[in-house]
Chains A and B, each alone.
Chain A
């Protein structure tokens, strides 16, 4: 039995190391003062963070990512929340079950396939090389995350609360505003966070739909790795990883408050 426990410990630790070590290993490289991404690090400086936030291309791409990310979050959160409200019944009719499957499909379709189609179609309606086009493309792949998150919370809501409000004379819109949406808020928040994160990380659709003026941070990182690797990448990765941990805390927190509500 001790042999089994020992091998479990070794295998588990090795896998945790494989999963986490690459993410930790690149963090110190963000603070190198050399132009190479090698260990040992010759000296520490914040020059690559300065480059990231002041150099024209990087600064522009960060601003673009924020514009497109916010646009995507607003659009996807609105469409996804309203859509999830229509799917909240536990016993769905066949039509609604099919619609639910359709809502989740953008997570499955390979991004390159969708990108080719979007480039062809968006060109016809002058949506390529526009912010609106990129926001729409990102919303398509972000919206399933909003639907999933909002739906999970909605299905946990005790419907008697809404029935009670209605029986006390509240109009359906009032019930929605005063009871349902506040209860669903944790799901809406985590859906919105996921939508923003999806937009921030999106590369493939951006490659097909965006023009040089809509170059996002992820797109800029992609071409930097491809053409001319620099430690600015490690600095950008540092920002991303720290951001992810913060997002994870926000999502966990909103889920925690949701659990407390139940």
Chain B
């Protein structure tokens, strides 16, 4: 009896193997690559091997030793690749500004003379211990928590303790808070519209229900870009909404609706509303139709019957829908990018900026990891809730 079952299991595994392999290579591996880029920091360790060995015995507080300086100069002479040298300078400069001018000067001196060099005489910054601390930290490790800390506006100070970034240096916490607030606002708006709407759709039948559900499904199937384009056109100062408002005399000058928060919230609510309505609807039609009359026959006022019977049951759908909407809203890129102004950009826009604009893969990876983790946690809760519903009668 066990033999055919094992055989069936093997056939199943063989069938899922191609897609599994495809997703491991082209879905999981890119995510791993992104996470690695957030924590990897190999450039200094690779270009300064002798320095790395000699600083291992340094206590990072006493003046730099002669051996360290000699090792550093020797390492600089070994770097023949200008691009690699550029990467090293960028890496060191990100830890302490000043390296951008100091490093080319020092490298030139190292290449021009064959013997030993007095670095402090060459540039008095080499007498400043904090430059050596930066070199030492960068050279002695291939991984870093710098990007992950910077993603939440933290840094390591010269002694290695975790401290806040200066207020003007980073705004990531503010952007995360903004993302959270905007996603929450959209979720709230979707509940306010979606819950009553789903209840109405569940309470009617025939062509009325078809119409209400069709109204939800048509936008869901329409291209996201088309829906965003539609709102872009409608929300403009001379767009349809403002024309109607001005002609009907509600307002004399156009209400700013585009490139601001209100426009993004309206468009995102429109885009995500189906994800709220459908889970609530599917829960509500599962509720036996005679529950409300039963409550009424036992003497409950319709309002009380609603509050005590329908609302608690429908709330499970609201929780599922809210998780879906909130999770999707957190990672939204296209709608805020097109409808929002500079102050309405969410975390995805910042990630895209770091990746394509600034070529700072470390920061893009670190913020990406934060967004990925938040999404996965919400998805796990969602799966847990929906599997509970399947197993409970």
A95 surroundings in chain B (CB, below 8 A): 13
Are B218's CB and A248's CB within 8 A?
yes
Are B334's CB and A204's CB within 8 A?
yes
Question: A108-146, CB under 8 A of B: which get 1 and which 0?
Answer: 111111111111111000000000000011011001000
Are A120's CB and B33's CB within 8 A?
yes
B20 within 8 A of A: yes
Also in contact, A18 and B223, with CB within 8 A (given A86-B13, A208-B355): no
Q: Report, nearest first, the 5 A-B pairs whose CB atoms are least far apart.
A: A110-B331, A86-B15, A117-B30, A117-B34, A83-B19
A170 within 8 A of B: no
Question: A204-220, CB under 8 A of B: which get 1 and which 0?
Answer: 10011000000000100
A147 surroundings in chain B (CB, below 8 A): 19
Are B193's CB and A15's CB within 8 A?
yes
Q: Which of B26, B233, B372 contacts A109 (CB 8 A)?
A: B372
B172 within 8 A of A: no
Question: A164-187, CB under 8 A of B: which get 1 and which 0?
Answer: 000000000000000000000000
Are B200's CB and A8's CB within 8 A?
yes
Are A83's CB and B20's CB within 8 A?
yes
Q: Which of B34, B193, B383 contacts A18 (CB 8 A)?
A: B193
Query: Can you identify 14 A-B contacts, CB atoms within 8 angstroms?
Result: A20-B219, A79-B18, A89-B8, A99-B16, A110-B331, A111-B333, A115-B355, A120-B30, A121-B33, A122-B30, A140-B22, A140-B27, A218-B223, A229-B233
Are B270's CB and A22's CB within 8 A?
yes
A101 to B178, CA, bound (A): 31
A115 surroundings in chain B (CB, below 8 A): 352, 355
> Which residues on B are within 8 Å of A, measured CB to CB?
8-9, 11-20, 22-23, 26-27, 29-34, 37, 193, 196-197, 200-201, 203, 211-212, 215-219, 221-234, 236, 238-240, 243, 270, 273, 327, 330-331, 333-334, 337-338, 348, 351-352, 355-356, 361, 364-365, 368, 371-372, 375-376, 379, 383
Are B233's CB and A120's CB within 8 A?
no
Q: Which of B32, B230, B333 contacts A25 (CB 8 A)?
A: B230
A189 within 8 A of B: no
B222 surroundings in chain A (CB, below 8 A): 23, 240-241, 244
Are B226's CB and A79's CB within 8 A?
no
A203 to B34, CA, bound (A): 19
Are A8's CB and B234's CB within 8 A?
no
Are B225's CB and A201's CB within 8 A?
yes
Residues 1-33 of A at the B interface (beta carbon under 8 Å):
8, 11-12, 15-16, 18-20, 22-23, 25-26, 29
Are A11's CB and B200's CB within 8 A?
yes
- Minimal beta-carbon separation of B352 from chain A (angstroms): 5
Interface SS, B side? helix
Are B270's CB and A82's CB within 8 A?
no
A103 within 8 A of B: yes
- Minimal beta-carbon separation of B262 from chain A (angstroms): 15
Also in contact, A116 and B19, with CB within 8 A (given A25-B234, A110-B331): no
Residues 93-110 of A at the B interface (beta carbon under 8 Å):
93, 95-96, 99, 101-103, 105-106, 108-110
Are B231's CB and A22's CB within 8 A?
yes
A87 surroundings in chain B (CB, below 8 A): 12, 16
Interface SS, A side? helix
Q: Which of A93, A110, A240 contacts B226 (CB 8 A)?
A: A240
Are B12's CB and A79's CB within 8 A?
no
B351 surroundings in chain A (CB, below 8 A): 112-113, 116
Are A113's CB and B233's CB within 8 A?
no
A122 surroundings in chain B (CB, below 8 A): 30
Interface centre among A117, A136, A248, by most B CB within 10 Å? A117
A143 surroundings in chain B (CB, below 8 A): 19, 22-23
Q: Which of A39, A101, A234, A237 contacts B243 (CB 8 A)?
A: A39
* Beta-carbon nearest neighbor of A100 in chain B: B16
Residues 216-262 of A at the B interface (beta carbon under 8 Å):
218, 221-222, 225-226, 229, 233-234, 236-237, 240-241, 244-245, 247-248
Interface centre among B16, B356, B361, by most A CB within 10 Å? B16
A38 within 8 A of B: yes
Are A103's CB and B371's CB within 8 A?
no
Q: Which of A16, A26, A85 contacts B229 (CB 8 A)?
A: A26
A200 within 8 A of B: yes
* Beta-carbon nearest neighbor of A226 in chain B: B338
A120 surroundings in chain B (CB, below 8 A): 30, 33-34, 37, 361, 365
A85 to B13, CA, bound (A): 10
- Minimal beta-carbon separation of A255 from chain B (angstroms): 13
- Minimal beta-carbon separation of A42 from chain B (angstroms): 13
B333 surroundings in chain A (CB, below 8 A): 110-112, 204
Are A234's CB and B16's CB within 8 A?
no
* Beta-carbon nearest neighbor of A248 in chain B: B221
B233 surroundings in chain A (CB, below 8 A): 25-26, 29, 37, 229, 233-234
A117 to B333, CA, bound (A): 16
* Beta-carbon nearest neighbor of B216 in chain A: A19
Are B219's CB and A82's CB within 8 A?
no
Q: Which of B13, B16, B226, B273 contacts A19 (CB 8 A)?
A: B273
Are A241's CB and B226's CB within 8 A?
yes
A80 within 8 A of B: yes
